[in-house]
Structure 1
Amino acid sequence: MSKKIAVLVTNLFEDSEYTSPVQALEEAGHTTVSIEHKAGNVVKGKKGEAEVIIDKGIDEVNPEDFDALLIPGGFSPDSLRKHESFLEFVRHFDTEQKPIFTICHGPQLMINAEVVKGKKMTSVSQVAIDLKNAGANWEDSALVIDESGLITSRTPEDLPVFNKAIVKALEK
């Protein structure tokens, strides 16, 4: 059954951490919706390899309309985490125990939403101390799946196992 996945993204996202999971999800028959401040904005990856035309502005979407959430890494999550509307969006997925998929610096958005305490997670190494301080059980693994449905990975090198796991998680 096809699922609808929200993707929170803004400028300076890690190019492959957006393009690769989105491609894997769409190839599996799911719909992805890019969400930023305003629909129609064009956001660019930090390596200049990818650009995304935003589908919806955060004020136009209801998290109840989505089955899962993808948060790519790069500098994008750090930029988005200062905006309460994005934090509220993330909190909905945590409260409803809908799947959240995040990689690299993506957990920064979850830290500010205060939804990591007690969860098994991984991230890029520089975010590890922030996750630990926020109460997460951080481990240095290519893929960590928490019982809440949260799936995390560290870096672009982990994308093959990350993509496989997020597609499998949506088969339920």
Structure 2
Amino acid sequence: MKRIAVIITDMFQDVEYQQPADAFRKAGHDIVNVGISAGSVVKGEYGTHVQIDKAVRDVSADDFDALFIPGGYSPDKLRIDADAVRFAKEFFTKKKPVFAICHAAQLLITAQVLKGRRVTGWMSLVQDIKNAGAEYVDAEVVVDGNLVSSRKPADIPAFIRESLTMLQ
């Protein structure tokens, strides 16, 4: 069983959180919702509510086996928080698995961890990903070292499959 941090705040894309989180739990992994304020409740674009278990300022990558970043507007909101950026960057420094879907690349761009990587993400981020020094790949899922990335909700089955493979 692995302990997976989910970094999340308001306006996350509901199915991009729910389906992978449910699949990780079903596979026996522990999900810890990490956000700006412990105990707060964040709301997805379509009304899903998620309680934050831990404040990002109080955790480090050492506390977890992997990081999951759902898409939606959440990564853009998180990228202005220095602790969220630090936390995401730590997973790359420590070469721990990172699962990033849709707009998740925004947080990774700000963390400056994409240079030289092969990455996919939402179509509006193609140029941002390239500007960050990464090779953009238009595919349902891209695995590059410790990073699993996908573009959109339709890619969730492939995203879950590759993420679970990396957790084995």
Q: Is TM (by shorter chain) over 0.5?
A: yes
Corresponding residue for residue 94 of structure 1: 92
CA distance in structure 2 between the aligned counterparts of 1:65 and 1:53, rounded to whole angstroms: 19
TM-score by length of 2: 0.98
Q: CA deviation at 1:162?
A: 0.5
Equivalent residues in 2 for 1:6-17 (5 A)?
6-17=5-16
CA distance in structure 1 between the aligned counterparts of 2:21 and 2:99, rounded to whole angstroms: 11
Corresponding residue for residue 69 of structure 1: 67
TM-score by length of 1: 0.96
The share of aligned pairs that are identical, in percent, is 45
Corresponding residue for residue 45 of structure 1: 44
CA distance in structure 2 between the aligned counterparts of 1:128 and 1:32, rounded to whole angstroms: 29
RMSD: 0.7
| Paired AA for residue 29 in structure 1 | G
State which drifts further: 6-15 or 39-48: 39-48
Q: List runs of 5+ in structure 1 lacking aligned partners.
A: none
Q: List runs of 5+ in structure 2 lacking aligned partners.
A: none
Q: In the alignment, which of 134, 157, 160 is matched to residue 160 of structure 1?
A: 157
SS at structure 2 position matched to 1:105 = helix
Q: CA deviation at 1:36?
A: 0.6
CA distance in structure 1 between the aligned counterparts of 2:86 and 2:92, rounded to whole angstroms: 10
Q: CA deviation at 1:65?
A: 1.1
CA distance in structure 2 between the aligned counterparts of 1:139 and 1:69, rounded to whole angstroms: 21
Corresponding residue for residue 52 of structure 2: 54
Q: CA deviation at 1:62?
A: 2.3
Does the 8 Å contact 2:60/2:90 carry over to 1?
no
SS at structure 1 position matched to 2:84 = helix
Corresponding residue for residue 120 of structure 1: 118
Corresponding residue for residue 22 of structure 1: 21
Matched residue count: 168
CA distance in structure 2 between the aligned counterparts of 1:59 and 1:155, rounded to whole angstroms: 29
- List structure 1 runs of 4+ shifted beyond 6 angstroms: none
| Paired AA for residue 165 in structure 1 | E
